[in-house]
Amino acid sequence: MEKSIAELRETFKTGGTKSISWRKSQLKALLQLINQNEDSIFKALDQDLGKSPVESYRDEVGVLKKSVTYTLSCLEKWVAPKKAEVPLLFFPAKAEVMPQPLGVVLIFSSWNFPFTLALDPLIGAISAGNTVLLKPSDLAPACMSFLVETIPKYLDNKAVKVLAGGADIGERLLQLKWDKIFFTGSPRVGRLVMAAAAKHLTPVTLELGGKSPAIVDTLSTTPSKAKVTAKRIVGGKWGPCTGQACIAIDYVLVEEKLASTLIELLKKTIKRFYGENIKSLKNISRIVNKHQFQRLVNLLKDPDVADSIVYGGSVDEEKLVIEPTILLDPPLDSEIMSEEIFGPLLPIITLKNVEESIDFINSKSNPLVIYAFTEDETFKKRILSETSSGTVTFNDSMVQVVDKRT
Amino acid sequence: MTSEVENKPVICTESAKELVKELRASFATGKTKSYEWRLTQLNAMVKMMEEKEPQIVAALHDDLSKPELESSIYEIAMLKNSCRLAVKNMKHWMMPEKAKTSLVTFPSSAEIVSEPLGVVLVISAWNYPFLLSLDPIVGAIAAGNAIVLKPSEIAPATSLLLARLVAEYLDSSCIKVVEGAVPETAALLEQKWDKILYTGNGRVARIVMAAAAKHLTPVVMELGGKCPVIVDSDINLQVATRRIIAGKWGCNNGQACISPDYIITMKDYAQKLIDSFKCELERFYGKNPLESKDLSRIVNSNHFARLSKLLDEDKVSSKIVHGGERDKENLKITPTILLDVPRDSLIMNEEIFGPLLPVFLVDKVEDSFDVINSGTKPLAAYLFTNKKKLKEKFVATVSAGGLVINDTTVHLAEPTLPFGGVGDSGMGAYHGKFSFDAFSHKKAVLYRGFACDAFVRYPPYTRGKLGLLRALFDGSILGIIRALLGWSKA
């Protein structure tokens, strides 16, 4: 391991990675890797997570291809120094801000979008001119093996390396000095990564998670809008890796009087998208492993929580499948309402008035995304100014990640 | 030194917790988010400096024997400019920035909204105790946060004055000063902050970041390093010398994060350079610099002892070619130049932060880059030359927080340039709009409507949908048409 990192440092020192032509060649090679290995990528995702090709293309392959082509088209602009104004006091002086690579970068990726979360940060690191060590998650082993075997065939081995392994390898990597660490995963491990980085004063980017709520205020508009709302909620919960996504809808907030309408719409949509029951379930990923399966099953063990199930709840331990499950008003102090769910269970919390969602969301820690289905411009403004989240998306779910400019 | 013994409330973990709770409640009222509140605070800060300049200058003189000119210009005037720039531009900075959207999310609109992070902690340093306390606060206020300032106890007169002035001029329900030393800082660091900006040294920075890690608090670290000055031979020697002197001894007597730390020049140019220094130093500080009023003193006996140790090292003490006189009682060391110090001496490996200037020799000027890159990345690096190619190589090869060609330190005064380090010299940056950004969260917002709901996203997943998705992501209208007609590869 130390030898690999020493090689990455040596390569960086030679200055090769700083050239625009090197960066472009690596990005083009990455695009080729994706284009030429689509079927293997689909296969690995199916093996690790039961993802269908459409989901895999929509959330991983397509997103990555877009990311590479966007980066290639903007690279020269991004790399160019930016002129800065100089006050009269310093006449005649010129000033500019010049982007420079940090050096040797460590990327930890997660298991739920094993390609996107490994290669999208890699695209950034390469385009900025760094050398990189990528440590994919061993909880998606087929994808990890694919990356370990395939990346060396396309990219510059002296500048981009992939290391297989589990938490122990991760810990050893964290003892070493990096110029930047990019981590995607849970807040718990995020703290460990940052604490390790602190010893070397290494800057970090931490992509974590949280309980991303969906506020629903559009059910009393036209039936077509209500249907679209339901589709987007279902698509935003069970569409991405059966809810195992940082930006999946975690729970829903809706006015009491509209709860039953919403639940009926959701049930219809779930059946249409994924099948009538657990035996005929299709178009949906599975739970990644037994540990996560057990964690999710345990969330339903609390009798008050189990009582609040209004749809679904069946599980298949052998196939690691939990059917799409809706709960109505589980106790607010239950684990399912205090921990990030990261799975196919959707609590619906009712409020007297939809405006109360703002206080409800603010009583918890800042989520990664707030989804708000509303056409009330005043309410939209209030949500924007009175809550704090990574992102806010109005009237849809999930799609905000595809827009490269936000 | 004036001594005012007061009963200062000592902060402990419990009271630090209460303090943060109080500020969170203030922040939750939304008060700090309003443009009017931010404007009032910034204007009050300008007023404070206009009305209290003599007291500020006096405190800085107590703590550092800082000459009045340095205090008035490098601390007060710089800070006033910072406030005025924020007042002038804040409305514009606060406006959401439109972001383009693509075919994949058509139809939609997007923007990036700047929102305050919440309750932030600013820990400042002793060398520019006024500026380094309030300049970050300008940014934090402009971005709409509630703030706790922990000034350095090593500049006690300024710390006390800051506590008084902030309480008198600013909104104490949202901006507080906590005085104290290590125990008080530790108590503050146990709390959860939404951002911490720390100015100081690498050792304490690691402690601050480790504490921040427990709460996943993002940090800006303004640290230091050995800022090198490469001096080529084809320059206006007098101007270059003066600018190096101004950046070294003119900035708190070398006790500044961006002061030139050491010089690299060619063997056969060194004598000429040193002669120029001797001449200009005498012009600036007289024949007896120990008596000059235009030099700050060494801040305290600890640092005096540290600097003495650097000079007394065996392989270094014989290399002094100018200065070297010390006055322990008054904590003064004259501008000192050392020639041809060994690469492995202490003075060439630790940040000097004082009035000692080693000159390191190379055969040719291009060799300087390897010397610089063999050490940790500094906060600033300086090059004096007229050669275009050398300038280009310097900018491309040397990694430092900031670079200046043919001058020293002045980039700090440039609000359009981000001020911060890289690697061991720090992370993050501030000044000008960068301060506003440092204390803001840039929230991505996507607006969608209900029209044109793309069925292709939803199950049941068919090969046709796969084909259409491909075309959509590729962004080609022709591709989309083909897919809709069923002619494309699924």
Q: How does pLDDT run across B302-347, given as a tens digit for each residue?
A: 999 999 999 999 999 999 999 999 999 999 999 999 999 999 999 9
pLDDT band, residue B480 (cuts 50/70/90): confident
Q: Is the pLDDT of residue B459 over 50?
A: yes
Comparing CB atoms, the residue among B216, B458, B462 nearest residue A190 is B216
Contact A330, A337 (CB under 8 A): yes
Contact residues on chain B for A282, CB-CB shorter than 8 A: 459-460
Phi–psi pair at B119, nearest 5 degrees: -115, 120
pLDDT at B5: 42
Say yes or no for a CB contact (<8 Å) between A273 and B453.
no
Least confident of B46-50, B251-255, B474-478: B474-478
> Residue range B243-251: average pLDDT?
96
Contact A149, A121 (CB under 8 A): no
> In sequence order, which residues have a C-beta less than 8 Å from that of residue B164 and are 6 or more positions away?
none
Q: Report the C-alpha gap between A69 and A122 in whole angstroms.
A: 14
ipTM, two decimals: 0.90
This prediction's pTM: 0.93
pLDDT at A90: 76
DSSP B13-48: HHHHHHHHHHHHHHHHTTGGGSHHHHHHHHHHHHHH
Greatest Cα-to-Cα distance within chain A, rounded to the nearest angstrom: 76
pLDDT at B9: 57
Q: Report the C-alpha gap between B333 and B309 in whole angstroms.
A: 12
Contact residues on chain B for A274, CB-CB shorter than 8 A: 459
Contact A5, A135 (CB under 8 A): no
Name residues of chain A where pLDDT drops below 50: none
Vertex A21: Cα angle to A16 and A22 (nearest 5): 40
Report chain B's mean pLDDT, rounded to a whole number. 93
**Exposure letters B327-341 (e unless 16+ CB within 10 A, then b):** eeeebbbbbbbbbeb
Residue that is written with structure tokens 């959860």 in the block: B192
Vertex B240: Cα angle to B299 and B355 (nearest 5): 15
Active-site hit among A55, A207, A255, A323: A207
User: Which is it for strands B97-99 and B108-116: parallel, antiparallel or unpaired?
Assistant: antiparallel
Q: Which CATH superfamily groups domain B228-424? A: Aldehyde Dehydrogenase; Chain A, domain 2 (3.40.309.10)
pLDDT at B420: 97
A2 is an active site residue: no
Q: Among B274, B269, B331, which residue's Cα sits nearest to residue B303?
A: B331
pLDDT band, residue B10 (cuts 50/70/90): low
Domain ranges of chain B: 13-223+431-442, 228-424, 454-489
Residue that is written with structure tokens 């007896």 in the block: B288
Structure-block tokens of residue B255: 């006790």
Q: Is the pLDDT of residue B476 over 80?
A: no
Q: Among B59, B56, B61, which residue's Cα sits nearest to residue B77?
A: B56
- pLDDT by residue (tens digit) across B392-449? 999 999 999 999 999 999 999 889 999 999 999 999 999 999 999 999 999 999 999 8
Pick the residue of B27, B203, B209, B411 with the most A CBs within 10 A to test the interface with A by mutation.
B209
**Rounded percentage of chain B residues whose pLDDT exceeds 90:** 87
- pLDDT by residue (tens digit) across B357-399? 999 999 999 999 999 999 999 999 999 999 999 999 999 999 9
Please, which residues 323-342 of chain A have a Cβ atom closer than 8 Å to chain B? Answer: none
With H, G, I as helix, E, B as strand and everything else as coil, classify residue A341. Answer: coil
Torsion sign (Cα): B46, B52, B56, B61: positive
Q: Among A175, A171, A183, which residue's Cα sits nearest to residue A200?
A: A175
Active-site hit among B174, B227, B251, B257: B257
Length of chain B in terms of residues written: 490
Q: Report the C-alpha gap between A151 and A37 in whole angstroms.
A: 11
Phi–psi pair at B405, nearest 5 degrees: -110, 125
Structure-block tokens of residue B211: 């504490």
Q: Report the C-alpha gap between A153 and A130 in whole angstroms.
A: 19
Comparing CB atoms, the residue among A87, A362, A406 nearest residue B99 is A406
Contact residues on chain A for B450, CB-CB shorter than 8 A: 218, 224-225, 228-229, 395
Structure-block tokens of residue A302: 């609390």
Q: Report the C-alpha gap between B250 and B355 in whole angstroms.
A: 10
Omega prior to A92 cis, within 30 of 0: yes
Q: Report the C-alpha gap between B115 and B136 in whole angstroms.
A: 17
**Rounded percentage of chain B residues whose pLDDT exceeds 70:** 97
Query: Which class does domain B13-223+431-442 fall in?
Result: alpha beta
Pick the residue of B195, B458, B465, B470 with the most A CBs within 10 A to test the interface with A by mutation.
B458
The reply to whether CATH 3.30.70.240 applies to domain A1-208 is no
Comparing CB atoms, the residue among A57, A86, A405 nearest residue B100 is A405
Structure-block tokens of residue A364: 């918890």
A38 is an active site residue: no
Q: Is the pLDDT of residue B488 over 70?
A: no
Same fold, B13-223+431-442 and B228-424: no
pLDDT at B489: 53
pLDDT at B6: 44
Residue that is written with structure tokens 């969170």 in the block: B24
> In sequence order, which residues have a C-beta less than 8 Å from that of residue A346 and are 6 or more positions away?
A237, A243, A249, A251, A252, A266, A324, A325, A326, A327
pLDDT at A88: 77
Say yes or no for a CB contact (<8 Å) between B444 and A391.
yes
Comparing CB atoms, the residue among A86, A395, A406 nearest residue B444 is A406
DSSP A148-190: HHHHHHHS-TTTEEE----HHHHHHHHHS--SEEEEES-HHHH
Q: Report the C-alpha gap between B391 and B373 in whole angstroms.
A: 16
Domain A213-401, CATH among 3.40.309.10, 1.20.1730.10, 3.40.718.10, 3.40.1390.30? 3.40.309.10
Greatest Cα-to-Cα distance within chain B, rounded to the nearest angstrom: 91
Q: Is the pLDDT of residue B104 over 90?
A: no
> Residue range B282-305: average pLDDT?
95
> In sequence order, which residues have a C-beta less than 8 Å from that of residue B3 and are 6 or more positions away?
none
Structure-block tokens of residue B283: 């012009």
pLDDT at B481: 82
How close is the nearest chain A Cα to the Cα of B104, in Å? 7
Domain ranges of chain A: 1-208, 213-401
pLDDT at B8: 54
pLDDT at A377: 95
pLDDT at B3: 38
Q: Report the C-alpha gap between B204 and B221 in whole angstroms.
A: 10
